C-alpha cells in the first residue's frame, strides 16, 4: 500500500489457501515451521523476533515494507547449512511503525486503550468457556483440547497485560500477537488438528474486530475514551452523549437513514462501504456501537439523510438520535464548509465518494 493512502484498509496479513503450497525451491532446506505458511524447512530467521520464513514467504507481504536482510549471500548460507538471518522482518518493521496514517500521531495511552477494548471484545466473541472439551471424548483428545485452551488463555492474559502497560506501538503489533497464538498451536498440534481449526476461527474474529478500528481510527478511539470515562465516572449520566456521535474527525462521514430489520429508520454515519464483501460499517446516532451490516439485508434501506424524518412513529431514543445527528452536521459545517441536506430522502446509489461530495461540496476528498 502506498504511503499516504487512506487508513480505510483491511488488516489483511493472511496467506490465502492458494499461497500455502510446498515450494519446489531446492534452497529451502532447514529450520522450523514458516511463520506465514506453516510448512516446515524454513531458511530465513528474523534476528529481532525469531520468526522463521521461507525465502518467498518473507517477501510475500503485499503493501508492507520489505524485510531487512543481513548482508550474506544465499549460497554461503546453504554451504554453512544455517538459516540466513533477517535483521528485521516485515512484521517487526510495522510493529514499531504503523502503516496506518491515521494512527501515527495517536498517543500511545489512547491507542492501548483501544487495543484493550479490542482484546476484551475478542475474548467475548471467542469465549473459551464455549470450547471446553466434553467428557465423552477420547482421553488424548480431551487433554489436547485442554492444553490448547490453556495456551490461548495464557496468550489472552499476556495481550491484556501489554495493553494495560501501554506496550503496543501499532495495530499490526497487536494483530501479530494473536497470529502468534495460531503459530504456537500449529507447532504443537499440526495444521490438520482440530485445535488449528478452532484457532483459525479466533483469527477471523480478530481480523473483523481489528478492521472495525480501521474504518475510522479517530472515531473508534474517541468512542473508547468515552466508554472509559463513563466507567471511571468522569462523565455525568446527564451528559453521556458520545463524542463519536456529535464531534467530527479529520474527514466527514456520510449521514444516512438506515432501516434495520424490526427497527424504524434511524439516522447513522456510514463509515465504510466494502462492495467486494458486500458489507457496510456504520454507527447509529444515540448508539455507541459500530455495526457491520450486510448489504443484501439493508442495501435497499439506506437513504441519504434528509430534514424530513422517515420514521412515522417516534420515541425518545429516536428523538435524541436525530438531535445528535443535527449536532454532528452543525459541527461538520464548521469543520468542512457547506453541508447539503435535502428535504426528501434520496437513494444512496452505491457510490460513497459521490454521495460525500454531494453532502460536503467544499471538502476535497483524497484521491
Mean pLDDT throughout 116-135? 80
What whole-number percentage of the chain has pLDDT above 70? 76
| pLDDT at residue number 155 | 95
Q: Is 295 helix (H, G, I), strand (E, B) or coil?
A: helix
> How does the average pLDDT of the chain come out, rounded?
79
**pLDDT classification of 20: cutoffs 50, 70, 90:** very low
In the chain, how long is the greatest CA-to-CA distance? 78
Q: Give the pLDDT confidence of 330-363 residue by residue, as tens digits.
A: 999 999 999 999 998 888 877 888 999 999 999 9
Higher pLDDT, 233 or 340: 340
Higher pLDDT, 234 or 159: 159
**pLDDT classification of 300: cutoffs 50, 70, 90:** confident
Which of 18-22, 63-67, 172-176 is modeled with the greatest confidence?
Answer: 172-176
User: Cα(325)–Cα(330) distance, rounded to whole angstroms?
Assistant: 9
| pLDDT at residue number 150 | 92
Q: Is the pLDDT of residue 8 over 50?
A: no
| pLDDT at residue number 267 | 92
Which of the following CATH numbers is that of domain 106-215: 1.20.920, 1.20.120, 3.30.70, 1.10.1760? 1.20.920
Q: Is the pLDDT of residue 22 over 50?
A: no
User: Cα(226)–Cα(236) distance, rounded to whole angstroms?
Assistant: 11
CA-closest candidate to residue 353, choices 273, 284, 281, 292: 273
| pLDDT at residue number 358 | 93
Q: Is the pLDDT of residue 29 over 60?
A: no
Q: Is 304 helix (H, G, I), strand (E, B) or coil?
A: strand
Phi and psi torsions of 129, nearest 5°: -65, -30
Strands 44-46 and 68-69 turn out to be unpaired
Bridge partner residues of 53 (DSSP):
44
| pLDDT at residue number 51 | 87
Q: Is the pLDDT of residue 167 over 60?
A: yes
| pLDDT at residue number 136 | 55
User: Cα(357)–Cα(365) distance, rounded to whole angstroms?
Assistant: 8
Buried b (16+ CB within 10 A) or exposed e, 178-192: bbbbbbbbbeebeee
| pLDDT at residue number 331 | 94
The residues spanned by each domain of the chain are 1-15+26-100, 106-215, 246-359
What whole-number percentage of the chain has pLDDT above 90? 25
Q: Is 31 left (phi over 0), alpha (psi -120 to 50) or beta?
A: left
Least confident interval from 89-98, 265-274, 293-302: 293-302
| pLDDT at residue number 285 | 87
- List CB contacts of 346: < 8 A, sequence separation 6 or more: 303, 304, 306
Give DSSP secondary structure letters for 134-198: PTTS-HHHHHHHHHHHHHHHHHHHHHHHHHHTT----HHHHHHHHHHHHHHHHHHH-TTSHHHHH
| pLDDT at residue number 356 | 92
CA-based radius of gyration for the chain = 24
User: Cα(20)–Cα(18) distance, rounded to whole angstroms?
Assistant: 6
| pLDDT at residue number 6 | 39
| pLDDT at residue number 314 | 67
- List CB contacts of 273: < 8 A, sequence separation 6 or more: 280, 350, 352
User: Domain spanning 246-359 has what CATH number?
Assistant: 2.30.30.140
Amino acid at each position: 500500500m502506498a504511503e499516504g493512502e487512506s487508513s480505510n484498509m483491511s488488516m489483511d496479513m493472511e496467506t490465502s489457501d492458494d499461497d500455502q503450497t510446498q515450494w519446489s525451491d531446492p534452497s529451502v532446506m532447514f529450520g522450523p515451521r514458516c511463520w506465514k505458511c506453516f510448512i516446515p524447512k524454513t531458511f530465513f530467521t528474523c534476528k529481532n523476533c525469531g520468526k522463521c520464513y521461507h525465502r518467498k514467504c518473507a517477501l510475500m507481504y503485499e503493501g508492507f515494507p520489505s524485510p531487512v536482510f543481513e548482508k550474506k549471500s544465499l549460497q554461503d548460507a546453504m554451504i554453512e547449512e544455517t538459516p540466513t538471518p533477517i535483521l528485521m522482518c516485515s512484521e517487526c518493521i510495522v510493529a514499531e511503525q504503523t502503516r496506518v496514517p491515521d494512527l501515527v500521531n495517536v498517543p500511545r495511552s489512547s491507542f492501548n486503550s483501544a487495543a484493550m477494548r479490542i482484546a476484551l471484545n475478542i475474548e467475548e466473541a471467542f469465549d473459551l468457556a464455549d470450547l471446553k472439551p466434553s467428557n465423552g471424548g477420547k482421553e488424548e483428545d480431551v487433554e489436547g483440547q485442554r492444553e490448547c485452551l490453556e495456551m490461548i488463555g495464557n496468550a489472552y492474559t499476556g495481550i491484556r497485560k501489554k495493553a494495560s502497560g501501554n506496550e503496543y506501538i501499532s495495530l499490526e503489533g497487536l494483530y501479530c500477537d494473536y497470529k502468534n497464538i495460531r503459530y504456537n498451536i500449529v507447532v504443537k498440534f499440526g495444521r490438520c488438528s482440530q485445535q488449528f481449526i478452532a484457532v483459525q476461527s479466533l483469527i477471523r474474529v480478530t481480523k473483523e474486530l481489528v478492521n472495525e478500528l480501521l474504518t475510522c481510527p479517530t472515531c473508534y478511539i474517541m468512542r473508547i475514551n468515552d466508554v472509559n470515562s463513563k466507567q471511571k465516572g468522569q462523565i455525568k449520566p446527564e451528559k453521556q452523549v458520545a463524542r463519536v456521535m456529535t464531534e467530527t474527525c479529520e474527514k466527514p462521514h456520510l449521514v444516512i437513514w438506515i432501516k434495520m430489520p424490526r427497527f424504524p429508520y434511524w439516522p447513522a454515519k456510514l463509515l465504510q462501504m466494502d462492495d467486494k464483501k458486500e458489507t457496510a460499517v456504520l454507527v447509529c446516532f444515540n448508539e455507541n456501537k459500530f455495526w457491520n451490516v450486510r448489504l443484501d439485508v439493508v442495501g435497499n434501506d439506506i437513504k441519504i439523510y434528509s430534514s424530513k424524518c422517515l420514521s412515522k412513529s417516534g420515541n425518545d431514543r429516536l428523538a435524541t438520535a436525530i438531535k445528535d445527528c443535527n449536532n454532528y452536521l452543525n459541527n461538520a459545517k464548521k469543520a468542512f464548509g457547506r453541508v447539503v441536506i435535502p428535504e426528501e430522502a434520496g437513494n444512496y446509489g452505491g457510490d460513497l465518494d459521490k454521495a460525500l461530495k454531494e453532502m460536503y461540496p467544499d471538502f476535497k476528498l483524497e484521491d
